[in-house]
Copies of this chain bind each other. A is one copy, B any other.
């Protein structure tokens, strides 16, 4: 029986000024997923984590990408998927992407890695479509590639890996619900040209800062004048967390994905740890349950562990 277990990292999409195009993989939390190759056609997905899952694989974030892969393969085989989710759905750190990316990386491993990473992203997009209605690639791509990735274009798919220096990441997940669809609807369809110019100056600076290992430039470029001012209203405590973290030495940060999680980047672990205290203090005071993570950028993406 051919079987594999993979570890699927959380991811931060909409990386500040890189809305819809820039994402990064995290070294915590992880989902785990065991996939078995079967001689019979068909896909089954089982959850071992207590989170409710659609049982129809076509409606399941891990199932839909495998259906797309099997259609392209056109062979009489199937997969059994067992998910042990630790990335809470709706937290804003790529829970659906971890399922979508994990299932295709695992299946590809069982098939002798016949598909490229870009192919796997293409399949995984079907999972994002099931989860949020939109084929957005800035979670599944870093989940599969690791590191920081740019989606220059989705149609056609154009993936650019962005080298970066060591960065520490602090994440807080306040336990409130922000639906991805609501977070999308709140955005204006038009933006001021002057704001758009500022945004593309910032993303150009951010990419250059990553590639030059210039922490000051990274910090200066971590500014979002378009999305954050609107979406942050959905997240109580956002402004205080951000301002206090920057005052405490964070390079900068913002909303992770469409929220409610907030992430901050730091140059060193000590600063990253101090930001966790600030985040906990703010949400304890406001009275919102929360989880925090102090982690780094995951360089490998989905990893085969057995």
Partner-B contacts on A (CB < 8 A): 17-22, 150-153, 158, 160, 162, 187-194, 196-209, 211-212, 217, 220-221, 226
> Does B201 contact A152, Cβ atoms closer than 8 Å?
yes
> Does A21 contact B191, Cβ atoms closer than 8 Å?
no
Q: Whole-angstrom distance from the CB of A50 to the nearest CB of chain B? A: 36
> Does A203 contact B205, Cβ atoms closer than 8 Å?
no
Give Cα A125 to B150, complex, Å.
Answer: 33
Instruction: Decide: A150 near B208, CB < 8 A? Known: A160-B217, A197-B20, A220-B158.
Output: yes
Instruction: Decide: A221 near B21, CB < 8 A? Known: A193-B188, A193-B190.
Output: no
> Does A21 contact B162, Cβ atoms closer than 8 Å?
no
> Does B198 contact A196, Cβ atoms closer than 8 Å?
no
23 A-B residue pairings within 8 Å (CB atoms): A18-B204, A19-B197, A19-B200, A20-B197, A21-B200, A21-B204, A150-B201, A151-B201, A152-B201, A152-B220, A158-B205, A160-B205, A160-B208, A188-B193, A191-B191, A196-B200, A196-B226, A203-B203, A204-B206, A204-B207, A207-B207, A211-B211, A211-B212
Which B residue's beta carbon lies closest to that of A205?
B152
Give Cα A248 to B271, complex, Å.
Answer: 53
Give Cα A199 to B197, complex, Å.
Answer: 9
> Does A204 contact B20, Cβ atoms closer than 8 Å?
no
| Partner among B19, B188, B204 whose Cβ is within 8 Å of the Cβ of A203 | B204
Give Cα A202 to B194, complex, Å.
Answer: 17
Give Cα A200 to B192, complex, Å.
Answer: 14
Give Cα A217 to B158, complex, Å.
Answer: 9
Give Cα A217 to B211, complex, Å.
Answer: 15
Give Cα A158 to B196, complex, Å.
Answer: 17
Q: Whole-angstrom distance from the CB of A266 to the nearest CB of chain B? A: 21
Give Cα A192 to B195, complex, Å.
Answer: 12
Instruction: Decide: A187 near B197, CB < 8 A? Known: A202-B152, A203-B203, A203-B204.
Output: no
Chain B residue numbers with a CB within 8 Å of A158 are 205, 220
Chain B residue numbers with a CB within 8 Å of A221 are 152
Chain B residue numbers with a CB within 8 Å of A190 are 190-193
Instruction: Decide: A153 near B208, CB < 8 A? Known: A188-B193, A190-B191, A226-B196.
Output: no
